[in-house]
Amino acid sequence: SKFKDGLAKTRSQFSGKINDLVSRYRKVDEEFFEELEEILIQADVGFETVMEIVEQLKTEVKKRNIKDPADIQSVISEKLVEIYESGDEKSNQLNLQDEGLTVILVVGVNGVGKTTTIGKLSHKLKQDGKKVMLAAGDTFRAGAIEQLEVWGERVGVDVIKQAEGSDPAAVMYDALQAAKSRNVDVLLCDTAGRLQNKVNLMKELEKVKRVIEREVPGAPHEVLLVLDATTGQNALIQAKTFKEAVRVSGIVLSKLDGTAKGGIVLAIRNELDIPVKFVGLGEKMDDLQEFDAEKYVYGLFS
């Protein structure tokens, strides 16, 4: 039901338009599909993905001999779930180690909700019985360290930090030592998000990653990229840039509650082939949900 609430804006637009479309047409024809394409594009599903969905729908409609627009609604939801799940085998589940330290690097542009996501995720992991620690690796943005500390206090987890402006790789080294000596299960690492300076960003991420790889064999176990759902197609462009810099293993799509264009989830999955592992549905501690394609698509319609 959290999922449903968070999708309220997308749902009211999207299903409203689909219902309207279905009620205006007497038969499923080329024009009907063109209007459907338009609705999907407006929901930020993304051009390539829309074309793929509509092609598949046309085939399905022919195969099942569907004539009445009212009968197509369930086929649309089926296809939306299918297109998401056909991505590949990569799981939506967080890759947590059964034993020893799991290191999760969290990357993303300033303002997308990185710090909030780390706070919410630490709460979720703590609730699952994990010992969690945070590394304040964004030493660049003013206030980033304090903001992470506020979350640390709120959730009740340790935060390892240095002064603003210090070397993020050094913070990471400290955090890794502390995590190992305090028997931490999951270390969540914040990073800076200056996309304006792509070369520096890449160098910094590379350096931080090298420290992690050296200190914990097999780590980082996850590189989560946080994207702001309200930025629509821009989020896709950011994702492509980060993919060039670092091996992104999962997406957290924040602020899905703040947009009517929740279709961006499908575009991300289909065009980037990276699983969406979590969605942010609000600003509070428990407003982070594991992503579930079926719940999501049915949340759009029901």
Of 68, 62, 57, residue with least CA distance to 27: 68
CB of 127 to ligand GDP, least distance (A): 18
> Which runs of consecutive H residues, i.e. helices, occur in 128-215?
144-155, 168-181, 198-215
Say if residue 134 carries a ligand binding annotation.
no
Q: Which two tokens stand for residue 21?
A: 């479309």
Tell me whether residue 112 is annotated as binding. Answer: yes
256 marked among binding-site residues: yes
Footprint of ligand GDP (CB under 6 A)? 108, 110-116, 254-255, 257-258, 280-283, 287
Which tokens hold the place of 165?
Answer: 């402006």
Helices (DSSP H) in 8-167: which residue ranges? Answer: 8-24, 30-42, 47-63, 73-85, 114-127, 144-155
Q: Is 19 flagged in the annotation as binding?
A: no
Least distance in Å: CB of 222 to ligand GDP? 17
Instruction: Return the number of the residue (282 or 299) whose C-beta is nearest ligand GDP.
Output: 282
> Residue 197 corresponds to which tokens in the numbers above?
């300076």
Nearest distance in Å: CB 232, ligand GDP: 15
Q: Is 114 annotated as a binding residue?
A: yes
Contacts 24+ apart (CB under 8 A), 200-205: 201/245, 202/244, 202/245, 202/246, 204/168, 204/169, 205/105, 205/107, 205/245, 205/246
CB 187 within 8 A of CB 103: yes
- Tell me whether residue 18 or residue 107 sits nearer to ligand GDP (CB atom): 107
Minimum Å gap between C-beta 53 and ligand GDP is: 26
Q: Which is nearer to ligand GDP, 138 or 185 (CB)?
A: 138
Tell me if 287 is assigned to a ligand binding site.
no
| Closest distance of CB 143 from ligand GDP, Å | 9
CB of 216 or CB of 228, closer to ligand GDP = 228
Give the nearer residue to ligand GDP in terms of CB position, either 69 or 193.
193
Alpha-carbon distance 11 to 49, whole Å? Answer: 19
How far apart are the C-alpha atoms of 179 and 20, rounded to whole Å? 55
Q: Least CB distance from residue 153 to ligand GDP, whole Å?
A: 16
Q: Which contiguous run of DSSP H or E holds residue 296? A: helix 293-301
Closest distance to ligand GDP from the beta carbon of 73 (Å): 29
CA angle 148, 149, 150 (to 5 degrees): 90
Nearest residue to 103 (alpha-carbon basis) of 194, 177, 163, 198? 177
- Is position 124 annotated in a ligand binding site? no
CA-based R_g, the chain, Å: 21
Q: Which is nearer to ligand GDP, 49 or 116 (CB)?
A: 116
CA separation for the pair 126, 186 (Å, rounded): 9
Q: Which residue is nearest to ligand GDP (CB)?
A: 280
Peptide linkage before 220 cis (omega within 30 of 0): yes
Which residue's CB is nearer to ligand GDP, number 46 or number 113?
113
Binding residue ranges for GTP: 108-115, 190-194, 254-257
Binding residue ranges: 108-115, 190-194, 254-257
